[in-house]
Structure 1
Amino acid sequence: MGRRSPGSGFARRLLIAQSAVVVAGALTAAGIAAAIAPGLFHKHLIEAGVANIPMGVEHADRAFRSALVLSLGVALLVAVLLSIGVAWYFTRRIQQSIASVASTTADMAEGRLDTRVGPSGLGADFDRLGESINVLGERLAATDGVRRRLMSDLAHEMRTPVATITAQVEAIEDGVREPDARTLQAIRAAAGRLHRLAADLGAVSTADEELALTAELVPVRQVVDDAVTLALPRSRDSRVTLDVGDVDDVAVEVDLDRVGQIIGVLLDNSLRHTPAGGTVRIGATAADGGVDVVVADTGEGIAAGDLQHVFDRFFRGDSARSTATGGSGIGLTIARSLAHAHGGTLSAASDGRGRGARFTLRLPVAARRVSVPGRVAAHVGEHR
């Protein structure tokens, strides 16, 4: 059974409606002409002085009525046929356009996201409709690609820790290995990685939702200092210099924990991708009614083609590197959502692979100013 052409019912009704309007107009014109024209003609005969010739007037009236009916009937019939023909033509064009849109959306619903609507030729409004459908298809295809990559990434992320736990447990069951501290530590590390992945999945599910923030007026110096304090142990373990640059004495009205989470993600990301002996530097500068908190490193850098994707969910420019370090590719996504929730922005820049990366968190400056004595300065240059 063939697929019924979408829009055919609408096209038929539209053609019938247009034809009815044309026929009604023709009948109305004929009725009005028949009611008015003979009387006017007879009046002109009287004014012309032929009323005293009864047979002449009667003959003239009959001749006029006959000519009127014949000429008006033929004219109206031709006009009706032409109007219906034009209405049929445009109705077919509209039907084809609607059928194309309906067919394309049906294909998209069935999973064929590469189908597109062609030009309608019916004007800007129909073309905009087709363009909107095509944009929808592109976004659905992109979303589907993200979903597929997400499933692949999740499987990849879970495979190694699950395999580690399974291997260790089987080794203990077979008597090959004793449940000593080293074995338990391996199991605990794999389980911790799974726990981090589960926590990230829970966080990313609400990353784009409106967050409830508890804003307070704090100096940027305090925000930076708290984040650096938490990151210092990691920098020592990684043997990476954590350097604090200039921090302007300005205040921001933010949720201290959430902004600390953003900067913590940036510092953790830079420390993870900076080799031993490298440097991670943080500073804050007031500019254009806001404050830029910049985290820059001398690490692996970001390829030009990856810069636009670094904040995408589960994006990893180097899967092997992310697997080795335990990153899930969600932290930067959450950090950007938190920045937007504060009315700020988060951006990334890099000169390329091996040339380091720079992340800039911009936050609006509060109207009031507060200051805290220089606590951050004590951490400048602390590392390893």
Structure 2
Amino acid sequence: MRTVGSRSRSLVTWLLIAQAVVLCVTAVVATVAAAVIGPPLFHEHLHLAGSDTSGSTFDHVEEAFRSAGLLTLGAALLAAIAAAGLVTVVLGRRLTGPLQDLASAATRLADGHYGATVAQPTRLSELAAVGTAFNRMSAQLASTEQVRQQMLSDLGHELRTPLATIQVYLDAADDDVTSGHELTAVLREQVTRLDRLTRDINAISRADESAITLERNPIDVAELLASVTGPRQEHLRARGLTLDVSAPSGTTLRGDRLRLQQVLTNLLDNAERHTADGGRIRVTVRPEPQAVSIEVADDGDGIGEEHLAHVFERFYRTDTARDRDHGGAGIGLAICRSVVLAHGGSITAHSNGFGTGARFRITLPTP
């Protein structure tokens, strides 16, 4: 692979070399034409015109023709050199400036300064397109780095809390200040929490649209909802929560039953997590032309407008402390989005702000 060394030249230098080569070739050809080809043609035309082509007078005329041609050619060549040099310098500066900015931004990006951008030249559409693409890439890298840092922070906290709890109770057991039954219950609870976290991380690592494998089969939507909402009714009633389900019979779609159960379970878990005791959760199915929509709504915490565009991002949480207390790791909605997109559908979130509840709507194509 070739590397940039001490013999590398700037763009302006290469443009000047290219212009010089073109001008040299032009000068050689024009000189040959003026000095070698031109006089015989001039002599021939004088002969055809009936002029006397003998004697010293004709020699002087021919010499004058040759000298005039060479002088004119020289003047034109000097003008062409000056124009070519000026155009090369001006164009070179217009090209090298943005390219140097791009190289500098790329160096900053390689050094870990994500979010580095370049100014976009307005008169050079190709360079403007390159600048736009670079800025978009830089913004995406900055967003990815932010998510990575947030993920590491969240994972550290999610792991630290159960491990600290386990350590406290193990120390208490060593000091004989806790019963075996209490220790077993706490260990089981924290192990369950760690198991849920590892399963969520494993799910989100595989929940990529291009990597999900779907087993598509005809699904009755009402029956699908019953399989998800039925088992949790008793638990919700214990908290004083009301779960209303409206699903017209005969609505079907073609999809992966287990994957869609996972989506609905995550949405209901999210609604339950952010709805206070005594609240209400509603699941509504609406047939649409060549599609069916399923909406999960609650009258709980709600979502701020600034968060709506990010709720489906991995490890994103609208209120980090509150979500941690509720047991959320910011993964469930990201899984929902990946599964729905893999089915060729869409998922959206709606809320009028904190304290007004939230609505999540998935739309899936029907056969």
Fold match, TM over 0.5? yes
**1:297–1:356 contact (8 Å) kept in structure 2:** yes
Correspondence for 1:190 = 190
Q: Report the Cα distance in structure 1 between the residues aligned to 2:293 and 2:128, rounded to whole angstroms.
A: 43
Q: How many residues align?
A: 363
Q: How many angstroms apart in 2 are the aligned matches of 1:347 and 1:335?
A: 10
What is aligned with 1:255? Answer: 256
Cross-structure match for 1:29: 30
How many Å apart are 1:242 and its aligned residue?
A: 1.4
Identity %: 36
Counterpart code for 1:177: T
Please tell me whether the aligned partners of residues 307 and 348 of structure 1 are also in contact (alpha carbons under 8 angstroms): yes
Contact 1:231 1:264 in 2 (8 A): no
Take 2:193 and 2:69, find their aligned partners in 1: how far apart are those partners? 95
Letter in 2 for 1:203: A
Where in structure 2 are the equivalents of 1:1-384 lying within 5 Å? 8-51=9-52, 53-120=54-121, 122-178=123-179, 180-208=180-208, 209-366=210-367
Structure 1 unmatched ranges of 5 or more: 367-384
Cα deviation digits, residues 187-232 of structure 1 (max 9, x gap): 2212211111111111111111431111111211111111112332
Q: Can you give the 5+ residue segments of structure 2 that lack an aligned partner in the other structure? A: none
Q: Is contact 1:281-1:295 (8 Å) kept?
A: yes
Is the CA contact (8 Å cut-off) linking 1:22 and 1:84 kept in structure 2? Answer: no
Contact 1:26 1:80 in 2 (8 A): no
TM-superposition CA deviations, 1:348-382 (whole Å, max 9, x none)? 1112211111111111122xxxxxxxxxxxxxxxx
Change (3 A) 1:73 1:173: same
Change beyond 3 A, Cα 1:65–1:52: closer
In 1, Cα distance between equivalents of 2:52 and 2:334: 97
CA RMSD of aligned residues (A): 2.2
CA, structure 1 residues 11+201, in 2 after alignment: closer, same or farther (shift >3 Å)? farther
Query: Is contact 1:15-1:91 (8 Å) kept?
Result: no
Letter in 2 for 1:195: D
For residues 239 and 269 of structure 2, the distance between their equivalents in structure 1, rounded to whole angstroms, comes to 11
* Structure 2 CA distance for aligned equivalents of residues 33 and 174 of structure 1: 110
Deviation at 1:9, TM superposition (A): 4.4
Contact 1:314/1:328 (8 A) holds in 2: yes
The residue matched to 1:338 in structure 2 has which SS? Answer: helix
Deviations 1:90-114 (A, max 9, x none): 2343233322212211210111223
Structure-2 separation of matches of 1:52 and 1:244: 112
CA change 1:81–1:212 in 2 (3 A) is: same
Shift of 1:131: 1.4
| Cα distance in 2, alignment partners of residues 270 and 174 from structure 1 | 41
State the AA in 1 paired with 2:353.
G
Distance 1:275 1:160, change over 3 A: same
Q: Is the 8 A contact 1:296 1:359 kept in 2?
A: yes
